[in-house]
Homo-oligomer: A and B are copies of this chain.
Amino acid sequence: MQLPENKQLKENKKNLIIEAASKVFAEKGFSGASIADIAAYAGIGKGTTYEYFDSKEDLFFAVFEWHVEQSSQAATVNITALGGPASDRLSAMNESLMNYFVDKMDIFSLVMEFWAASASSKSREHYKQAFKDTYREFRGIVSSLIQDGIERGEFRSDVDVAAISAGIVGTWDAMFLQGWFDESFDIADTGKKCMAIFLKGLSIK
Contacts and interface: CB of A to CB of B under 8 A. Distances in A.
A190 interface: yes
A118 to B, nearest CB: 7
Nearest to A124: B109
A29 B121 CA distance: 8
A197 B201 contact: yes
Identical copies of this chain, number: 2
- What is the size category of the interface that chain A forms with chain B? 35 or more
A104 interface: no
A14 interface: no
Interface string A164-205: 101101110111011011100100011001100110111000
Interface in A88-113: 108-109, 112-113
Given A170-B173, A171-B174, A120 B128 contact: no
A121 to B, nearest CB: 7
Interface of A: 26-32, 108-109, 112-113, 115-116, 118-121, 128, 131-132, 135-136, 159-160, 162-164, 166-167, 169-171, 173-175, 177-178, 180-182, 185, 189-190, 193-194, 197-198, 200-202
Given A135-B178, A163-B193, A167-B174, 19 more contacts: A26-B120, A29-B120, A30-B31, A32-B120, A109-B119, A109-B120, A112-B116, A112-B118, A135-B177, A136-B182, A159-B197, A166-B178, A166-B194, A167-B193, A169-B174, A170-B177, A170-B194, A173-B177, A200-B200
